[in-house]
Amino acid sequence: MPTGRRDFDREPAAWFGHQDDEREERPEPHEREDLYRLLGSRWVVAVLRELRDGTVRYNTLHRRLGGVSHKMLTQTLRRLQRAGLVLRRAHHTVPPNVDYQLTVTGAELLEYLMRLEQWANAHGLY
């Protein structure tokens, strides 16, 4: 029974000038990481805070955080990178050096987190 609406999601991609394999890969909503789960991770906010002042090398970041394992730091940085909050730059040197910095989005999120901490402190919650 026609509804008068066209279901463009069912139209072949070639009709719109591109093939299926050319479509931009975007994670489905259920594949995206939940914001609260991301921020609830023990090391995420600490890493964001350490990157506040600019680019930091991996080993320096590891030393500053104290107590985080290399595996956990690497996993945390990868999660932040996938979320678009951190930029990773590998330098092709011997030994290899890798540094990280906040993206504009990461810096903006950190500002909001710092405001939240100020609010919590003002209300005796922090």
Q: CATH number of the domain that 109 lies in? A: 1.10.10.10
Mean pLDDT of 99-125: 96
Residues in CB range of 51: below 8 A, 6 or more apart: 61, 86, 100, 101, 102, 106, 110
- pLDDT for 73 beyond 70: yes
Look at residues 26, 50, 47 and name the one whose alpha carbon lies nearest to residue 38: 47
Query: For residue 95, is the peptide bond before it cis, meaning its omega torsion is within 30 degrees of 0?
Result: yes
Residue 63: pLDDT band (50, 70, 90) is very high
Which position has the higher pLDDT, 15 or 111?
A: 111
- pLDDT for 30 beyond 70: no
- pLDDT for 45 beyond 90: yes
Residue pair 77/100 in contact (Cβ under 8 Å)? The answer is yes
Residue 21 lies in a domain: no
Residue 57 lies in a domain: yes
Q: How many domains does the chain have?
A: 1
Task: Please give the residue range of the domain that contains residue 37.
Answer: 29-122
